[in-house]
Amino acid sequence: MSDTRSRLADQASELRLAFDRTFAESPRRDTAPTEDLLALRLGSEPYAVRLSEIAGLFADREITRLPGGATALLGIAGFRGNVVPVYDLHVLLGRSTAKALRWLMVAAGAPVAFAFEAFDGHLRASRDAIVPADVEGQPEKYVREFISDGGLIRPIACLPAILDAIMKHIPQVAPRKER
C-alpha cells in the first residue's frame, strides 16, 4: 500500500513540475503568417475581401439614390459623419445586381462604400492557403487570388484595383482660377 502511495506521490510531483514549467516557458506563437478576410456572398457565389482593405462594415444603412451616374453607383450614404458614394459590388464584379443589398463595407483606401447581399463571417487563413489566379486566363480583372474555405473556393476581390478603376472614371475637377 505504501508502494502505491509512493508512486502516486511521485506522479503528482511530476505533474506539478510540468504544470509549473509551462508558466516559466515563453508562450508559443504561431510562426506562419496569416491573413484576415471578410467572407461574403454575391448572390449564391462566395467571395472574400482582405480586412486590411476595409475601414468598416455596416448593415441596413439607408442609401440616397442619385439621378444618372454610373450603372454601379447606387447613391450616397452617411458613415461616421462622412457622406460617401455607394457602389454595387455585384455589378463591379460583373454579376447581376441583388434585390436586397443589406451590407455595406467602406474601403480603407478611399471614402467609398460597396454594397453586397450577404455577410458570411470572418476568415483567418495562412498566407500559404491563398493561391494566385491564373494570370493569362484571368476571368475577372478585380480577382487576383483565391482561398479555400471549408470546401468553398472563394475569389478574393481586390478593393484597391476596384478603387483605381472607379477613380479613373470620375471626372477630375479643375482647380478654380483666382481672379
Is 108's pLDDT higher than 80? yes
Q: Are residues 40 and 25 in contact, defined by beta-carbon separation less than 8 angstroms?
A: no
Model confidence band, residue 110 (pLDDT cutoffs 50, 70, 90): very high
Only one residue has cell 503568417, namely 33
User: Which residue type sits at 137?
Assistant: G
Quote the CA–CA distance of 53 and 47 in Å, as a whole number. Answer: 14
Is 173's pLDDT higher than 50? no
Q: What is the pTM of this model?
A: 0.74
What length does the chain have?
A: 179
Only one residue has cell 482582405, namely 50
Q: Could you read off the pLDDT of 116-141 as tens digits, one per residue?
A: 999 999 999 888 888 888 755 544 68
**Measuring CA to CA, how many Å separate 40 from each of 31, 45, 67, 88, 175?**
28, 8, 28, 14, 40
Q: Could you read off the pLDDT of 80-103 as tens digits, one per residue?
A: 888 999 999 999 998 888 778 999
Q: Is 120 exposed, middle or buried (0-12, 13-18, 19+ CB in 10 A)?
A: middle
Q: Domain locations in the chain?
A: 34-169
Between 154 and 173, residue with greater pLDDT: 154
Alpha helical stretches, state H, the chain = 2-24, 89-92, 159-169
Strand partners, 152: 149
Could you please state the CATH topology (level 3) that the domain comprising 34-169 is classified under.
Answer: OB fold (Dihydrolipoamide Acetyltransferase, E2P) (2.40.50)
Quote the CA–CA distance of 101 and 118 in Å, as a whole number. Answer: 8
Q: Could you read off the pLDDT of 26-60 as tens digits, one per residue?
A: 776 656 788 999 999 998 899 999 999 999 999 99
Quote the CA–CA distance of 95 and 10 in Å, as a whole number. Answer: 68
